[in-house]
Amino acid sequence: MNLKSNIIFFLSFLCVVSLSFSQETLKNPDSSLAALKEAPEDTSKVMLYQRIAGHYNIVHLDSAKAFAEKGIQLADEINFSFGKLMNLNVLGNYYERKTDYENAMLYYNEALDIAKATNSTKGFAVILNNIATVHIRKGDYQIALPLLFDALKAEEKLGNENGIAQAYNNIGVVYYYMQDFDKTTDYLTRALEIQEQLGNFSGLQNGYNNVGAIFDYQKKYDEAIRSYTKAYDISLELGDKKQQASNLSNIALSYSKKGDYKNAETYFTRSLQQREEVKDYNGLASTYANFGESLRAQNQFQKAQMYLKKGLEIAEKNNIKLSAREIYHSLSKLEKQKNDHEKANEYLYKYIAVKDSILNEKNAQIITETEAKYQTEKKEKEILKQKAQLIEKELEVKRKNTMFFGSLGLALILGLIGYLFYNQQKLKNRQLQKESELKEALARIETQNRLQEQRLRISRDLHDNIGAQLTFIISSIDNLKYGFTEISDKLSNKLSNISGFTSQTINELRDTIWAMNKSNISVEDLKSRITNFIEKAKQASENANFEFYIAPEISEEYTFTSVEGMNIYRIIQEAVNNSLKYAEATLISVHISEENNQFKIEIRDNGKGFDAAKAEQGNGLNNIQKRTRDVGGTIDISSDPAKGTSVVLNIPFKSLE
Amino acid sequence: MISLQLVILVVAISMIGLWFYFFIRNKIIKQAHSKRLQILTENVEMHQSQIHIRDKGLDTYKFLRYNLAEALVIQPEIKL
């Protein structure tokens, strides 16, 4: 009894799956009809005809045909193959539902030809499945099977896991009708595995339940119990108590058939408790019926009658005719066993009456189920629409994000270009500045070099020409002096003076030329030249002693201009020469020191000295005074005939820098 | 639709490309600058060496010996 109901459920489940490819219900059929009136004669209108026809296939079968036919006609006019295929498929569904299998096959085959011509694998798979369904309904299982295998191949080519699972299911159904239960189990198991991978728990629960029913039918009760237990585990996971009770009831039934009445009673009791808990009266009536039948099989007539009566009470109270029918049947058998044939016949009549009424009610139930299915699909479509809107919103957000990051990226690139240009310009400016400084320095040094070279060449000319001419004059004067034997002393002295003056002119010319070319003289340089001069003087005058001293506080790094250095040197040279030449001194000292921020140079001797007031200044003293003025200093010449002469030269530091 | 990853990739490649282009360009500019600096420095050094030769000549001048002619060394390579 329960097995039978399981199988019915199993088959109806598969049929729904197989037809779901082509059956669709419209959310708002009125607006679709309105849209159809205003739609232009194009492909969209063809598809609209198909959708409306599909909708009426479910809700009002008689209206479907006209729409599908119009769709086919329009598709022909505008040469729209796919639209024609879809409308032909709907028309085929229509005839299938009308149980006019001949016409259904006609339209399905036409649709199949189009699917082949347009290489539509999906269309091919769907049409083949539907053709196979017609063959199953006609009982042509041998024809249906290869078609289903072709549909399976097409689904495998598409990689459509759900389609593959459905094809396995349908193949399993064919094998079931062909009484090949091993293959039925094999294909249903494969379908189950895929559904397991896809995570379709609800489908899995039903699948295991159905597989259990097959095993039960084959009297493989242990396998049946295992499969029912799996279904029970999934129901537990889903928290579906009603389904749990149903699974427990099935397990109990398998135990009962196996002869394990102890376990059967335990599971029946658990199932009854659970059904009481969830107030599942339909289930309660069914389980009481099964439990009663199990007890009847054990010849426990009293107990069996008690449970069967309980079940009958619930079934009659809730108008559950299916359970009532089975209970009447069991009670009839029970009374027969008890040899109460009158009561057995009474229950048998009641059984037949309920059975007849069920057939009528079953039709009404199908209509209700179709309505429920329509509502469910409607809700599913709404969910799909919401999902599509969500996806659209996500895409919009993604697009905005891309725009934002794109702009950010562009700004970054522009910023980088700006930075790199700025950096490059900075580098160029630095280089230009450096180059310009170097060019300036080069220009300066080049000019300086050329000027000095020019000055040097002029000096060389002066030295070679004027110097030579002056030397010639000296030589000529000397020749004059020695050429004339009788020459007065006065003239001789005059000539000597001219010769001496010319010699001095040569010296000064040379000094001027040297100073003109030399840039500066350091204190150290000056010191070495004075030392050198004193050494020479020592060699020339054996009787005279010399002292030369430079105060240590005077830095040797002080520098004089060449003119200053030359003038200082010449002043010292002149003073020392005077001491040697006129004073006949035995001690001559040269002291250079620093005093009151001035350079102090003292040249002293212990010679004869002279009276400064009476003495006539010669060229030597005049030269010393002139050179002192040139260096911006002051000079003090003092002499005492008894003590000697001192020349003190003061030059401010400022002028020395 | 252009994906975010593609945008990031294009931006990254562009930035690296730009940086590399400017790196090479700056390197060329630096090399040219360095060459110009070298020429200028060499010229300055040449002039300094000529001045040094002249100064050295003048330093050798001895006052008492009057050998000024030896000190006045003309450098024919300086074109006036």
ipTM of the modeled complex: 0.83
Predicted local distance difference test score (pLDDT) of residue A174: 79
Is the pLDDT score of A206 beyond 80?
no
Read off the pLDDT of residues A534-576 as tens digits, 9 standing for 90 and up.
887 888 787 889 999 999 888 887 888 888 888 898 899 889 8
Predicted local distance difference test score (pLDDT) of residue B46: 93
Predicted local distance difference test score (pLDDT) of residue A357: 73
Q: Decide: A509 and A468 in contact? Cβ < 8 Å.
A: no
Please tell me the distance from the alpha carbon of residue B26 to that of residue A430, in angstroms, as a whole number: 13
| Nearest chain B CA: its distance from A408 CA (Å) | 9
Most confident of A126-135, A238-247, A497-506, A626-635: A626-635
CB contact under 8 A, A402 and B66: no
3-state SS, one letter per residue, for A221-286: HHHHHHHHHHHHHHHHHHCCHHHHHHHHHHHHHHHHHHCCHHHHHHHHHHHHHHHHHHCCHHHHHH
What are the φ and ψ backbone dihedral angles of B23, each rounded to 5 degrees? Answer: -60, -45
Element (H, E) at A54: helix A43-59
CB contact under 8 A, B51 and A449: yes
Give which of A454, A460, A462, A559 to mutate to test B binding, by max B Cβ within 10 Å: A460
Q: Which residues on neighbouring strands pair with residue A605, listed in sequence order?
A: A588
Q: Mean of the pLDDT values across residues A372-396?
A: 86
CB contact under 8 A, A507 and B66: yes
Read off the pLDDT of residues A84-125 as tens digits, 9 standing for 90 and up.
998 999 899 888 777 677 888 999 999 999 988 888 888 888
Predicted local distance difference test score (pLDDT) of residue A239: 76
A416 to chain B: which residues are within 8 Å by CB?
A: 15, 18-19
Q: Give the contacts of B67 (CB within 8 A, at least 6 positions apart).
A: B60, B61
Is the pLDDT score of A58 beyond 70?
no
Q: Mean of the pLDDT values across residues A283-290?
A: 89
Is the pLDDT score of A10 beyond 70?
no
CB contact under 8 A, B22 and A398: no
| Confidence band for A493, pLDDT divided at 50, 70 and 90 | confident
Amino acid identity at A202: S
Q: Mean of the pLDDT values across residues A218-229?
A: 89
Could you tell me if residue A350 is left (phi over 0), alpha (psi between -120 and 50 degrees) or otherwise beta?
alpha
**Cα angle, residue A355 at apex, residues A354 and A360 outer, rounded to 5°:** 95
Predicted local distance difference test score (pLDDT) of residue A592: 92
| Confidence band for A364, pLDDT divided at 50, 70 and 90 | low
Residue A346's nearest CA partner among A325, A331, A365 is: A331
Q: Decide: A50 and A75 in contact? Cβ < 8 Å.
A: no
CB contact under 8 A, B48 and A445: yes
Please tell me the distance from the alpha carbon of residue A368 to that of residue A227, in angstroms, as a whole number: 31
Residue where the block lists tokens 């369904």: A133
Predicted local distance difference test score (pLDDT) of residue A21: 40
| Cα Rg of chain A (Å, integer) | 68
Is the pLDDT score of A15 beyond 50?
no
| Confidence band for A6, pLDDT divided at 50, 70 and 90 | very low
| Nearest chain A CA: its distance from B58 CA (Å) | 7
A435 to chain B: which residues are within 8 Å by CB?
A: 33, 36-37, 40
Q: Supply A301's token pair.
A: 């007539």
CA atoms within 13 A on the CB side of A129: 30
Is the pLDDT score of A9 beyond 60?
no
Give which of B3, B11, B35, B61 to mutate to test A binding, by max A Cβ within 10 Å: B11
Predicted local distance difference test score (pLDDT) of residue A19: 34
| Nearest chain B CA: its distance from A639 CA (Å) | 28
| Nearest chain A CA: its distance from B9 CA (Å) | 10
Q: Which residues on neighbouring strands pair with residue A645, listed in sequence order?
A: A639
Average pLDDT, chain A: 83
| Confidence band for A596, pLDDT divided at 50, 70 and 90 | confident
Please tell me the distance from the alpha carbon of residue A534 to that of residue A536, in angstroms, as a whole number: 5
**Cα angle, residue A146 at apex, residues A141 and A150 outer, rounded to 5°:** 140
Q: Supply A41's token pair.
A: 């004669």
Predicted local distance difference test score (pLDDT) of residue A459: 83
Where exactly are the structural domains of chain B?
Answer: 4-71
Neighbours of A547 (CB within 10 A): 11
Q: Decide: A93 and A81 in contact? Cβ < 8 Å.
A: no
Predicted local distance difference test score (pLDDT) of residue A120: 85
Measured between CA atoms, the residue of chain A closest to residue B10 is A409
**Domains of chain A (ranges, CATH numbers):** 520-656 (3.30.565.10)
What are the φ and ψ backbone dihedral angles of B76, each rounded to 5 degrees? Answer: -65, -20
CB contact under 8 A, A446 and B72: no
Residue where the block lists tokens 């091919």: A124
Measured between CA atoms, the residue of chain B closest to residue A445 is B47
| Confidence band for A3, pLDDT divided at 50, 70 and 90 | very low
Here the contacts of A574-580 (C-beta below 8 Å, separation 24 or greater) are A574/A620, A574/A623, A574/A624, A575/A603, A575/A624, A575/A647, A576/A533, A576/A534, A576/A537, A576/A603, A577/A620, A578/A620, A578/A621, A578/A645, A579/A544, A579/A603, A579/A605, A579/A607, A579/A645, A580/A537, A580/A540, A580/A541, A580/A544
A201 compared with A621, residue with greater pLDDT: A621
Is the pLDDT score of A370 beyond 60?
no
Using CB atoms, pick whichever of A413, A420, A449 lies closest to residue B11.
A413
Q: Supply A602's token pair.
A: 């003292």
Is the pLDDT score of B54 beyond 90?
no
Using CB atoms, pick whichever of A413, A427, A536 lies closest to residue B26.
A427
CB contact under 8 A, A463 and B69: yes
Residue A275's nearest CA partner among A227, A323, A321, A230 is: A323
Using CB atoms, pick whichever of A413, A452, A456 lies closest to residue B14.
A413
Q: Mean of the pLDDT values across residues A57-72?
A: 82
Percent of chain A past pLDDT 70, that is, above it, reads: 90
Q: Give the contacts of A197 (CB within 8 A, at least 6 positions apart).
A: A161
Using CB atoms, pick whichever of A423, A424, A510 lies closest to residue B68.
A510
